[in-house]
Amino acid sequence: GEKYYQISELSPELSGQKVLLRGRVHNVRGKGKSCFLVLRQQTGTVQAVLFVDDKTVSRGMVKYTSAIPKESIVDISGEVHVPQEPVAGCTCSQVELKAMSVKCVSRAAPLPFELADASRKEEDLQREDAQFATVTQDTRLENRWIDLRTPVNQAIFRVQSAVCQLFREALLAEGFQEIHTPKLIAGASEGGASVFRLDYMGREGCLAQSPQFYKQMAICSDMARVFELGPVFRAEKSFTHRHLCEFTGLDLEMTINEHYNEVLDVLDRLFVYMFDGIKSRCAAEVKAIQEQFPSEPLAYLPKTLRIPFEEGMRLLQEAGFEPDPLGDLTTELERNLGKIMKEKYNTDFYILYRYPLAVRPFYTMPDPEDARYSNSFDVFIRGEEIISGAQRVHDAALLTERAQVHEIPLESIQSYINAFKFGAPPHGGFGVGLERVVMLFCGLDNIRKTSLFPRDPKRLTP
Ligand code: ATP
Ligand code: AMO
């Protein structure tokens, strides 16, 4: 068959050559004997012009083309032509196509909203004299397959893809292996309130809230360093800008020799590599996102700042807040601590470690020097949590005791506890929320923007 060209391949060197392209009708404007059509492939656009002549282009062809609805898929064959002036508004501005034929491959129904309206800058929408049709988030999500075509969404999901690739690259280079753990499991690992229960062949099962138990059992199986990218299910009851009912977890687990600082060292190298990588590989995407949703670029240090929880509480107190020194941080306090860190250390990215034991999951290792605390940490971007992690209890008797303190039914986790009875190395790890990383790296305000087809308490379709 004939070669299909990409818009990105077109250049003045091809002038005079006949080419065939498939793409969407981004825009079309008929003017009697001529017609201007902007063809789009993903975020690239090129202009095609049709003029009625005696040989190839009939009046009928121009009329037919002018009536093709926006977003339809078309095949255009034409000659590459260098216009006298660059074509304004097209990504491919140095050439245009003198179209000879246009064929509609798939006709688009009337659109629920215009892509142009879904691509407006926040600041333009805020203007009092704004004349644009506004598109609500619900309308976008109802029609996500159209919404995802906007340049900003094309960019967001390329950044997401890069984050996953960078995560894999960095960990493989550190000697980790990728694993795949079951998502149909017997019990809750992160607390019963947010677990999706289901019928598993007549008995109770649930959707995995985390690969937690299985990544630890892999350690007990002598896989010294493991990671997984996979779905995580949480029956979150309320709406927030940062909770989904299904998200993608980037998890790792590793043996440690002396201290869970070894995990933090990996975390530090991993994230600096990922942030540097996004900046260098996704510069155009980050710019496209900035254009629609402006924000400060992420500030991070070559070596990530580590602050003890106690010190964090002291800084909050100094600033006039009243955190519970042995309790959990509220979203509000987390955000304020983020502001303090930014002012004091000029970083949007930091690790808070040695949390109070009482606010961490049962599998968390207590601090051997002070049992009110634990060998655990959270990591924040712009004052919002993106990671939780810890050293884990690797002694079956202590694990049983900790589960009882948390009132966890032992039957549901017996096989997990058994895994530690036959020799278990000290180990630790952490879990990252992919959608949160992309949202917060890009300075976006809602996690639904970084989930391809978000699942929240009300949304199960599309
Ligand atoms: P993690 O799952 O690691 O705990 P998280 O961001 O949900 O991540 P939590 O420790 O559950 O963190 O909660 C931190 C704070 O976020 C809570 O103190 C609470 O204020 C708020 N929060 C958590 N879950 C919800 C929710 N479903 N709805 C509203 N607020 C929530
Ligand atoms: P945690 O429950 O903190 O820890 O989850 C880890 C990370 O996952 C993300 N996250 C979410 N993202 C979107 N929607 C949600 N509802 C949601 N809940 C959590 C956050 C969070 O930091 N087993 C431990 C990890 C470990 O210790 O290895 C765990 O699941 O970015």
Residue 420 backbone dihedrals phi, psi, to 5 degrees: -95, 5
> Ligand 2 center to residue 456 CA distance, Å?
15
pLDDT at 122: 80
Alpha-carbon distance 364 to 9, whole Å? 54
Residue 17 zone, left/alpha/beta (φ > 0; ψ -120 to 50; rest): beta
pLDDT at 298: 98
Pocket test for ligand 2, best of 160, 351, 436 (most atoms within 8 A of CB): 436
Residue ID of nearest Cα to ligand 2 atom 6: 431
What residues contact 32, with CB distance under 8 A and at least 6 apart? none
What residues contact 343, with CB distance under 8 A and at least 6 apart? none
Alpha-carbon distance 165 to 172, whole Å? 11
pLDDT at 336: 98
pLDDT at 10 over 90: yes
Supply the pTM of this predicted model.
Answer: 0.95
CA distances from 101 to 28, 48, 56, 65 (A): 15, 10, 8, 9
Q: What single DSSP character describes residue 127?
A: -
Does the beta carbon of 429 sit less than 6 angstroms from any atom of ligand 2?
yes
Q: What single DSSP character describes residue 66?
A: H
Contact 141, 244 (CB under 8 A): no
Catalytic residues: 234, 236, 242-243, 385, 388, 436
Find the helix or strand (DSSP H, E) in which 30 lies: strand 18-31
pLDDT at 434: 98
Best CA proximity match to 381, nearest among 340, 341, 350, 339 = 350
Alpha-carbon distance 225 to 428, whole Å? 10
pLDDT at 126 over 90: no
pLDDT at 124 over 90: no
Alpha-carbon distance 230 to 247, whole Å? 8
- Average model confidence (pLDDT) across the chain: 96
Give the pLDDT confidence of 199-254 residue by residue, as tens digits: 999 999 999 999 999 999 999 999 999 999 999 999 998 899 999 999 999 999 99
Give the pLDDT confidence of 49-62 residue by residue, as tens digits: 999 998 899 999 99
pLDDT at 191 over 90: no
Find the helix or strand (DSSP H, E) in which 41 lies: strand 34-41
pLDDT at 400: 98
Alpha-carbon distance 239 to 245, whole Å? 10
Q: What single DSSP character describes residue 183?
A: S
Q: How far apart are the first and last CA of the chain?
A: 35
Alpha-carbon distance 285 to 233, whole Å? 29
Alpha-carbon distance 211 to 110, whole Å? 44
Does the beta carbon of 328 sit less than 6 angstroms from any atom of ligand 1?
yes
Strand pairing report for 184-185 and 44-51: unpaired
pLDDT at 192: 83
What's the whole-number mean pLDDT along residues 418-437?
A: 98
Q: Which residues of 8-26 are buried (b: 16+ CB within 10 A; e: fewer)?
A: eebeeebeeeebbbebbbb
Strand partners, 388: 378, 431
Hey, is 112 helix, strand or coil?
coil
Alpha-carbon distance 92 to 344, whole Å? 45
pLDDT at 446: 97
Contact 372, 326 (CB under 8 A): yes
> Ligand 2 center to residue 438 CA distance, Å?
14
Residue ID of nearest Cα to ligand 2 atom 15: 243
Q: Does ipTM come in above 0.95? A: no
Q: Please count the residues of the chain.
A: 462
pLDDT at 129: 83
